[in-house]
Amino acid sequence: MEALITPLSTPSPSLSHKHYSSSFSPLTTSTCSFYFPKPNNYLTHRVHTSKYGNFLDFIPENKSTPIDDVDINWVDPLRKARLDVIIVGAGPAGLCLAERVARQGVRVCCVDPDPLSMWPNNYGSWVDELSSLGLDSCFDKTWPMACVHVNEHKTKYLDRPYGRINRKMLKMLLLEGCVSNGVKFHKGKVWKINHQEFESSIVCDDGNEFKASLIVDASGFASSFVEYDKPRNHGYQIAHGILAEVEDHPFDLDKMLLMDWRDSHLGNEPDLRVQNSRLPTFLYAMPFDSNLVFLEETSLVSRPVLSYKEIKSRMVARLRHMGIKVKRVIESEKCVIPMGGPLPVIPQPVMGFGGTTGLAHPSTGYMVTRTLALAPVLAEAITECLGSTRMIRGQPLYHRVWNGLWPIERRLTREYYRFGMETLLKLDLEGTRSFFDAFFDLNPEYWHGFLSSRLSLMELAMLSLSLFGHSSSASRFDIVTKCPVPLAKMMGNLVVESI
């Protein structure tokens, strides 16, 4: 949940809002192409239609258009200019890091198949997170509150503003920062990376080769350039979302719906209801006005990934039950986010940043705002090595940059968040409801900090005690019976990381 990171697309002229969060979200990837584990294919059902129709029959109207408002600087392949850093990928992670590193006089080139293309995902964030980065101007819609429907009878109201990020505005802002600080760009796909003792090179699909002291891979989850030495046993968040014009909807316009765990819409769908009780999904909604709304059915985490057909079947049943008649689909997207799993080998010659290096929140999927916040941290480690007359390169460079991004404290707290994911994987619908009922009863300092990945290890331990104290008897039983194995693994990993 990228604050569920959930994605949208460029708004139509009448829409200047967005959804997808950056703390619980699916950073959802509507057009991400990477290997998906075999889904639970047995979870398939016929989609029933009704007088309200089936939104799956509509063809999305909006088409992505490239950014043409920014004049970027292209690198001249024939000049073989000396580069300090090559950043692979022009997503939020790549552009933010490029701008920050170049700001210190380091020579940077950003390589991407289409640097000016619009990002395929839309992003959301808790307002305080993006505001703390000085990016308030990048919100195009905010809601003063969020809400969570725990079940048919209980709703939590969260006094924390949530906003949709205008992705075009954010990308233009980052591109302009890159241009003003001298970042060069090359349009191409990186096919191969070669390493020598003090220098690395990339080979692109157009045959061009570029050399630099450091290669940073910010190209996303699909990348194979960053090495792992452990099985990548991810959990997976999957979602189907639509930005739609509807005849009417039941949502409060001053609240975004973070989670709706109700299952009354499956009353006439016994097969769907049984599967949902085992592997639950929730609705995430952003109402922009009385007729325009973003709707997304989301599986918070599963292993293997839940069937996409199952997600859509549940969403059809939910909208039919709520009486939401879709008149037209403006945008449609499929989101899959790998969560948790091990960190890459630390250090190694390719520096990873963003989705390729474990920055997605292991328990929620949020990533974008955290990546933007950590870009200055990684940039500082890079410029300390390459921005000085000493020019620290090779293994000492790799060691400093990797440990700058992943110091021991950050690795330890990530193990705790992984424990949270492994716990969620073991909960059925009732267990999940009980968990979030207790979670959002915590002191806001705890749940705010957990969703924003900013709690220390000690604060996470205190959160655990408080969560146990706020839990129902049934939830405590779940914790006692289902958590020992994930807890033991976490403690073992903490010991290994501390050595």
Q: What pLDDT shows up at residue 466?
A: 94
> Could you tell me if 415 and 490 lie in one domain?
yes
Of 336, 365, 392, which closes a domain? Answer: 336
193 with 181: CB under 8 angstroms?
Answer: no
Q: What pLDDT shows up at residue 82?
A: 83
Q: What pLDDT shows up at residue 2?
A: 56
Q: Which residues of the chain have pLDDT under 70?
A: 1-53, 389-390, 484-485, 487-488, 490-491, 494-495, 497-499
**What digits encode the pLDDT tens for the residues 156-166?**
999 999 999 99
Q: What pLDDT shows up at residue 48?
A: 45
Which pTM was predicted?
A: 0.86
> Could you tell me if 200 and 87 lie in one domain?
yes
Q: What pLDDT shows up at residue 481?
A: 78
Instruction: Check which CATH number belongs to the domain holding 294 and give it.
Output: 3.30.70
Residue 164 lies in a domain: yes
Q: Tokens 């959990």 — which residue?
A: 235
Of 406, 422, 450, which closes a domain? Answer: 406
> Could you tell me if 200 and 133 lie in one domain?
yes
Residue 11 lies in a domain: no
Q: What pLDDT shows up at residue 49?
A: 45
C-alpha distances in angstroms, 481 versus 101, 430, 485, 487, 494? 48, 15, 9, 11, 22
Q: What pLDDT shows up at residue 213?
A: 96
CA 81 to mean position of chain CA atoms: 35
Residue 284 lies in a domain: yes
Q: Which domain holds residue 461?
A: 409-498
C-alpha distances in angstroms, 255 versus 132, 270, 322? 22, 31, 17
> Could you tell me if 446 and 395 lie in one domain?
no
**What digits encode the pLDDT tens for the residues 28-53?**
333 333 333 444 443 444 444 444 45
Strand ranges (E), 266-372: 282-287, 292-302, 326-339, 350-352
Residue 10 lies in a domain: no
Q: What pLDDT shows up at residue 133?
A: 93
Q: How far apart are the C-alpha atoms of 357 and 352, rounded to whole Å?
A: 5
285 with 257: CB under 8 angstroms?
Answer: yes
Q: What pLDDT shows up at residue 69?
A: 84
Nearest to 342 by CA among 425, 226, 230: 230
Residue 257 lies in a domain: yes
Of 406, 436, 455, which closes a domain? Answer: 406
Cβ–Cβ contacts within 10 Å for residue 392, how many? 18
> Could you tell me if 257 and 296 lie in one domain?
yes
Q: What pLDDT shows up at residue 487?
A: 66
Q: Radius of gyration of the chain from Cα atoms?
A: 22
146 with 255: CB under 8 angstroms?
Answer: yes
Residue 438 lies in a domain: yes
> Could you tell me if 170 and 264 lie in one domain?
no
Instruction: Check which CATH number belongs to the domain holding 79 and give it.
Output: 3.50.50.60
Residue 52 lies in a domain: no
> Could you tell me if 319 and 387 lie in one domain?
no
> Could you tell me if 442 and 366 lie in one domain?
no
> Could you tell me if 134 and 215 lie in one domain?
yes
Residue 128 lies in a domain: yes
> Could you tell me if 311 and 371 lie in one domain?
no
> Could you tell me if 83 and 176 lie in one domain?
yes
> Could you tell me if 303 and 259 lie in one domain?
yes
**Phi, then psi, of 242 in degrees rounded to 5:** -135, 140
3-state secondary structure of 360: coil
Could you give the number of structural domains in the chain? 3
